[in-house]
Amino acid sequence: MSTTHDDGPLAARVRHVEALLEERGWLADGELDARIDAFAAGGSPANGAAIVARAWVDPGFRERLLADASTAIEELGMSMAAGLQVQPLVAVANTADEHHVVVCTLCSCYPVALLGPSPTWYKSEAYRSRVVRDPRGVLREFGLELPDAVHITVWDASAETRYMVVPRRPEGTDDLSEQELAGLVTRKGLIGTAAV
């Protein structure tokens, strides 16, 4: 038995399915690899940060983002397409009274195109199970202490729907450009485990 993934039984099945798709004309030769490479190369927290910064400076965009995030991000040249599948995106906005945090309790579903590769802690069983039961305690461990009056909503991502948090815009940032605002947004802020 081989120890490399390229020679393993799963890789052989994937190559077989890919060959069938190409044979039937559903995929061009090498198209799947090209799409995967493009998807992986374009995924970055900078994408999510640009979306948030636009929402902070453009109330109309913010409204469209919260109503239909998958369509709104296309205005910025972004997409939730992953290979051959489009994953719906839901954007949720933090307010003074409500804080949102994202988890995938079953695995690690996550908007890679907008946030880059998921952090190790996001995939850990400890985070996935505890943030649902004790979100305030988990956020405290991340250094985010929220007042008791703030309601915390935990969003469970899945293969069907991905979530992204729109953090609250920091006070005193009225004079910053959209690009400078984007520089304030972190991946943890986009997941909801940190404030901006």
Residues recognised as catalytic: 104, 107-109
Strand 151-156, strand 89-93: pairing: unpaired
Q: Exposure of 79 by Cβ count < 10 A (0-12 exposed, 13-18 middle, 19+ buried)?
A: middle
DSSP secondary structure letters along 26-80: SS-TTHHHHHHHHHHHH--HHHHHHHHHHHHH-HHHHHHHHH-HHHHGGGGT---
What 3-state DSSP class applies to 100? strand
Residue pair 73/104 in contact by the 8 Å Cβ criterion: no
